[in-house]
Chains A and B, each alone.
Chain A
Amino acid sequence: MNKLNEYAVIGKKTTKTDAVAKVTGGARFATDIYLPNMLWAKVLRSPVPHARILRIDTEKAKKLDGVKAVLTAADVPEARYGALVLDMGMFARGKVRYIGEAVAAVAAVNEEIALAALKLIEVAYEPLPAVFDPLEAIKPGAPILHEDLKSYKTLFERTDKAMTGNVNYQAEITSGDLEAGFAQSDYIFEDSYEVPKQHPSYMEPNSTVALVDSDGRLVIHNTTQRPHINQAILSSLLGIPIAKIRVVPCHVGGGFGGKNRTLTEPTAAALALKTRQPVRLTFSHEEEFTSATTRHSGVMVMKTGVKKDGTLVASDVKLYYDCGAYAPTPNAVWLGAISSSGAYRIPHCRVEAYSIYTNKMMGGAFRGYGAPQSNFARESQMDRIARELKIDPIELRLKNCLVEGDSLHTGQKLHSVKVKETLLKARELSGWGKGRVPANRTLGVACGIFACGGFATSGIVRLNMDGTATVATGAMDMGQGLRTVMGQIAAEELGMAAEDVTVIIGDTDSTPFDVGIFGDRGTHTAGMAVQMAAQDARKQLVEQAAFAFKTTPNNIVLGGGKARLASDPDKVLDYKDLLGGGQYKKGGPIIGKASINLTETAFDPAIVRGAASRMFSTYTFATHIVEIEVDPKTGVVRVPKTYAVHDCGTVVNPDGLRGQIIGGLATGLGYALYEGVAFENGQVQNPSFLECRPPTAVDMPEIVFDTVEEFDEKGPFGAKGVGNVSVINMAPAIANAVETATGVRVTSLPITPGKIVQGLGQLAKEEA
């Protein structure tokens, strides 16, 4: 059902509301705030991966001229936080667990003095045995990172294996009869895949300016995807009521999940409370690579049973995700488990998913959120199955892909499933199997599924006297264009022009609660709350118009900023006239509101144990086909062309959609070929863009982009998200194309020239 032609604003080119500010240098980011009397904060970080802290002496640092405060764990409440596992405090307490962990913080009158003061803090460490590999960390006798793990508070239903040893979060999915499934299979494929940590590489570093205002309230200016959760965490860490804390985020210079965190806020806040001066804490570029959060590294073991004709029958998956020394978001493992069966119907499934502590920097949320790992395994193995069974890779996928009304291995029944259509369209666009590709190029395909939307959010729509509207959402715009899209949704519902709607985001004083923007929930879920709030306002506006026209509400038609009589379309009132006088005559100004949670249904405990969420609102799908060139001498892979077809529901903002998808492909390309945080005994070896480089403009392929539009019943005007699913296919598609081109199957990321040359050497040896 496509209603696109009926819409006035949805699906139409709409200029990004913050674009002018951003092209003129006027947009203010947290790093752009310089206040009078502002102090600069710096953090002393652990130089060792695992050690007991015997003593911290801050006396010399405190005596340095210009130092206003020095804090350690001894100076702040003993409180911990985390999304599912409350395991991390503001500073290391008693122990350090990774190189880069915060041990102490200084606030001084300038950056140089703050840095000099760090050198004057003396810490005595007693080294402890450390563990860096997740599979080593779950062996008996491995060094234990969190001795009191069982006593930590958790926000999920613990399985037997959760919160024991070095395993924190754990989930299991079982559907069908696995043994019977393998017994029915003609072939069984068992493979292991490995992926490194990938840094989100948002351009703007983590940064907070904290101050105590003249009313004694704590005010936070920061860069975040979740102001309301920041507020709640600050409240619990500092012991201050939520109402005494105001979080006012600035423009966000990229987030991608990496800013769905609370990293700089608590330290800056504690220093501001201590000194009663504004305090700024900005991560250095190196701190970003040692002390922020990355995509989880991990090992995926995948055993799949198949019939001769290619029908998938059984799947046994084990996901071992390395969350580092703390688990701020082990939910990534849960989403990895959901995406691990791919976009396929597999009747007999088991997934065991583990989030495992190691003495490394933290794994967190990053675009794709657990799925790039498991989909790399699933889609690499699908091509291996196709090759062994001599079935065309796209035919194999078409044979097994999910269709409308199918259920996922979690038992969740799916709607708006268009993966088959994305496969067919991508095949057609790329000329797959038609011999159109130049002789030196090879095609590779991958498709994928990602959970979209859910969790709590709310919206408020106020109609103003001049006929304009003000929308407030707690959801954040991290640059993807949420503010513009929320305005489009409200404008469509209210019958106004997009430019007559102003959207307020982020400020916890003026916006209602949202849990944070992640997991394709911006347009879909926050947008739904804004649409419902606009519907509430619209209903009141209709009643007001009926009152003004002395008629019944069903005789009122709204549109183009005017109310009309259905029975006499020449009778017209501008919203301006209706609202300007009307709100005084009949019951005050119009305020529409909605509070919703699109994850309402729990998973069946007979199928899912240790679920980190209730059932997601919907799912998004995409197929990507890459055209690659491999230099057989050097092993260098180039990707000159990529075909991307997305099942995105209704398109709300065409420019924004295209930009977000191409950006996602770029991150997927980096994951496939270039990026990967490298460690040596827990020490990051490549902590900068020079050494761990995201793709540049000349690395990017020409993108042929298309959509399969489908009205999703749960989203506003039928919209779904695209931010995550755009990332998850590039790595397996490129790995698949590399095998077709060279015969080398690379099972670990990134796919470096070295791995290909080594593989070619191995093949030559086997032939000889």
Chain B
Amino acid sequence: MTETLSVPAKMPVRLRVNGQNRDLLIEPSASLLQVLREDLALTGTKEVCLLGSCGACTVLIDGKPALSCLVLAMACRGKAITTIEGLMEGGDLHPLQQAFIDKGAVQCGYCTPGMVMVGKALLDEKPNPTAEEARQAIAGNLCRCTGYQQIVEAIVAAPEIARTGSAKRPAGLMDSGPYLMPETGE
């Protein structure tokens, strides 16, 4: 005799993610994190503790940093959600992304998306943050690799990169870049 687990029916929802409307059928209890990763394949946002203690799942909701593991996806209707995948503009890196690369702020990279998102929220609010302000902004985000110093330096350096327009179009993205045939350019 086979038993079947009873699960609530899925519900339709429209979410606005990285500037695009996405129509989905989701479980009413699904977190925003789960929907981003599993329904929208936006796996840049990371799942670690599911307790709101580490900051790895941070996204922006209407421009403010939010822990997507603690937010129901259903509660995000009508709000603008920005994830790490939505930061590049016209194929160029965001100045803060460029700053993370230039300052050696990336090691294993698992905390990086969350760090970049809280850093961006800070820069949107305070265009020229001090090191102390940057340190306070990332105080809720854990990183085991870097000891945070180079992340703080990257946030402080980002405004200069924005001013000089020195954020680059990434050549040969390691895991996701297009491969071009050298002869035909295809």
A residues neighboring B (CB under 8 Å): 15-29, 31-32, 34, 60, 63-66, 112-113, 116, 200-205, 251-256, 285, 466, 478-481, 655-656, 658-660, 662-667, 688-690, 693-694, 696-698, 700, 703
Question: Are B144 and A285 in contact, CB atoms less than 8 angstroms apart?
Answer: no
Q: Told that A34-B38, A700-B149 touch, could you supply 7 new A-B pairs with CB distance under 8 A?
A: A31-B46, A113-B5, A253-B109, A285-B49, A660-B145, A662-B146, A693-B53
Question: Are A17 and B174 in contact, CB atoms less than 8 angstroms apart?
Answer: yes
C-beta contact mask, B30-59 vs A, less than 8 Å → 1, else 0?
A: 000000011001111111111101101000
**Residue B87 is within 8 A (CB to CB) of chain A in the complex:** yes
Question: Are B182 and A466 in contact, CB atoms less than 8 angstroms apart?
Answer: yes
Which of the residues A19, A34, A285, A667 comes within 8 Å of B50, measured between beta carbons? Answer: A285
Closest to A664 in B: B147
Chain B residues near A22: list those with CB within 8 A. 106, 109, 112
Question: Are B48 and A285 in contact, CB atoms less than 8 angstroms apart?
Answer: yes
A-B contact pairs, 25 of them (CB 8 A): A17-B174, A19-B100, A19-B101, A20-B101, A20-B170, A22-B106, A23-B100, A23-B109, A24-B88, A24-B97, A27-B174, A64-B5, A203-B48, A203-B142, A285-B50, A662-B150, A663-B107, A663-B147, A665-B147, A666-B146, A688-B51, A689-B49, A689-B142, A690-B51, A698-B139
Closest to A254 in B: B108
Question: Are A690 and B108 in contact, CB atoms less than 8 angstroms apart?
Answer: no
Q: A16-B104, A63-B2 given as contacts; is B146 within 8 A of A26 (CB)?
A: no
Minimum-distance CB pairs A-B, first 9: A25-B44, A479-B108, A655-B104, A22-B109, A253-B110, A662-B147, A25-B84, A26-B176, A666-B147
Q: A16-B104, A19-B106, A253-B109 given as contacts; is B2 within 8 A of A24 (CB)?
A: no
Question: Are A21 and B146 in contact, CB atoms less than 8 angstroms apart?
Answer: no
Distance in Å: Cβ of B169 to nearest Cβ of chain A? 10
Query: When chains A and B are docked, how far (Å) is the Cα of A254 from the Cα of B21?
Result: 34
Question: Are B136 and A698 in contact, CB atoms less than 8 angstroms apart?
Answer: yes
Question: Are B150 and A658 in contact, CB atoms less than 8 angstroms apart?
Answer: yes
Question: Are B54 and A203 in contact, CB atoms less than 8 angstroms apart?
Answer: yes
Chain A residues near B97: list those with CB within 8 A. 23-24
Q: Is the interface of A mostly helix, strand, loop or mixed?
A: loop
Q: A202-B144, A203-B110, A688-B53 given as contacts; is B42 within 8 A of A26 (CB)?
A: no
Query: When chains A and B are docked, how far (Å) is the Cα of A654 from the Cα of B185?
Result: 35
Chain B residues near A659: list those with CB within 8 A. 104-105, 107, 145-147, 149-150
Closest to B132 in A: A698
Chain A residues near B45: list those with CB within 8 A. 25
Closest to A689 in B: B53
B50, B56, B88, B149, most chain A CB atoms within 10 A: B149
Question: Are A23 and B144 in contact, CB atoms less than 8 angstroms apart?
Answer: no
Query: When chains A and B are docked, how far (Å) is the Cα of A17 from the Cα of B173?
Result: 9
Question: Are B3 and A63 in contact, CB atoms less than 8 angstroms apart?
Answer: yes
A19, A663, A694, most chain B CB atoms within 10 A: A19
Distance in Å: Cβ of B171 to nearest Cβ of chain A? 9
**Residue B140 is within 8 A (CB to CB) of chain A in the complex:** yes
Q: How large is the interface on B (under 10, 10 to 19, 20 to 34, 35 or more residues)?
A: 35 or more
**Residue B143 is within 8 A (CB to CB) of chain A in the complex:** yes
Q: A203-B54, A479-B109, A689-B51 given as contacts; is B141 within 8 A of A24 (CB)?
A: no
C-beta contact mask, B52-72 vs A, less than 8 Å → 1, else 0?
A: 011010000000000000000
Query: When chains A and B are docked, how far (Å) is the Cα of A252 from the Cα of B5?
Result: 35
Chain B residues near A255: list those with CB within 8 A. 108
Distance in Å: Cβ of A738 to nearest Cβ of chain B? 21
Distance in Å: Cβ of B93 to nearest Cβ of chain A? 7
Chain A residues near B84: list those with CB within 8 A. 23-25
Question: Are B2 and A64 in contact, CB atoms less than 8 angstroms apart?
Answer: yes
Q: A21-B174, A478-B108 given as contacts; is B44 within 8 A of A26 (CB)?
A: yes
Query: When chains A and B are docked, how far (Å) is the Cα of A251 from the Cα of B43?
Result: 13
Distance in Å: Cβ of B180 to nearest Cβ of chain A? 12
Closest to B3 in A: A64
Closest to A662 in B: B147
Chain B residues near A201: list those with CB within 8 A. 142, 144
Distance in Å: Cβ of A571 to nearest Cβ of chain B? 26
**Residue B175 is within 8 A (CB to CB) of chain A in the complex:** yes
Question: Are B108 and A252 in contact, CB atoms less than 8 angstroms apart?
Answer: yes
**Residue B17 is within 8 A (CB to CB) of chain A in the complex:** no
Q: A204-B108, A251-B108 given as contacts; is B101 within 8 A of A23 (CB)?
A: yes
B1, B43, B144, most chain A CB atoms within 10 A: B144
Question: Are B150 and A204 in contact, CB atoms less than 8 angstroms apart?
Answer: no
Chain B residues near A285: list those with CB within 8 A. 48-51
Closest to A697 in B: B148
**Residue B135 is within 8 A (CB to CB) of chain A in the complex:** yes
Chain B residues near A19: list those with CB within 8 A. 100-101, 106, 109
Question: Are B107 and A204 in contact, CB atoms less than 8 angstroms apart?
Answer: no
**Residue B116 is within 8 A (CB to CB) of chain A in the complex:** yes
Closest to B100 in A: A23
A26, A113, A658, A694, most chain B CB atoms within 10 A: A26
Distance in Å: Cβ of A700 to nearest Cβ of chain B? 5
Question: Are B170 and A24 in contact, CB atoms less than 8 angstroms apart?
Answer: yes
**Residue B9 is within 8 A (CB to CB) of chain A in the complex:** no
B3, B101, B113, B151, most chain A CB atoms within 10 A: B3
Q: A32-B43, A659-B146, A700-B149 given as contacts; is B3 within 8 A of A20 (CB)?
A: no
Closest to B145 in A: A663
Which of the residues A15, A203, A256, A700 comes within 8 Å of B56, measured between beta carbons? Answer: A203
A16, A205, A703, most chain B CB atoms within 10 A: A16
Question: Are A481 and B107 in contact, CB atoms less than 8 angstroms apart?
Answer: yes
Closest to A15 in B: B101
Chain A residues near B173: list those with CB within 8 A. 20-21, 24, 26
**Residue B16 is within 8 A (CB to CB) of chain A in the complex:** no
Chain B residues near A27: list those with CB within 8 A. 109, 174-175
Query: When chains A and B are docked, how far (Å) is the Cα of A202 from the Cα of B87?
Result: 26
CB interface residues, B 112-151, toward A, < 8 Å: 112-113, 116, 135-136, 138-151
Distance in Å: Cβ of A351 to nearest Cβ of chain B? 31
Query: When chains A and B are docked, how far (Å) is the Cα of A172 from the Cα of B55?
Result: 45
Question: Are B145 and A480 in contact, CB atoms less than 8 angstroms apart?
Answer: yes
Question: Are B152 and A697 in contact, CB atoms less than 8 angstroms apart?
Answer: yes
Query: When chains A and B are docked, how far (Å) is the Cα of A660 from the Cα of B146?
Result: 6
Question: Are A16 and B106 in contact, CB atoms less than 8 angstroms apart?
Answer: yes
Question: Are A663 and B43 in contact, CB atoms less than 8 angstroms apart?
Answer: no
Query: When chains A and B are docked, how far (Å) is the Cα of A203 from the Cα of B96?
Result: 22
Chain B residues near A665: list those with CB within 8 A. 147
Query: When chains A and B are docked, how far (Å) is the Cα of A381 from the Cα of B147?
Result: 28
Q: A23-B101, A32-B43, A63-B3 given as contacts; is B48 within 8 A of A204 (CB)?
A: yes
Which of the residues B116, B145, B150 comes within 8 Å of A23, measured between beta carbons? Answer: B116
A25, A66, A466, A700, most chain B CB atoms within 10 A: A25
Query: When chains A and B are docked, how far (Å) is the Cα of A609 from the Cα of B182?
Result: 59
C-beta contact mask, B3-39 vs A, less than 8 Å → 1, else 0?
A: 1110100000000000000000000000000000110
**Residue B85 is within 8 A (CB to CB) of chain A in the complex:** yes
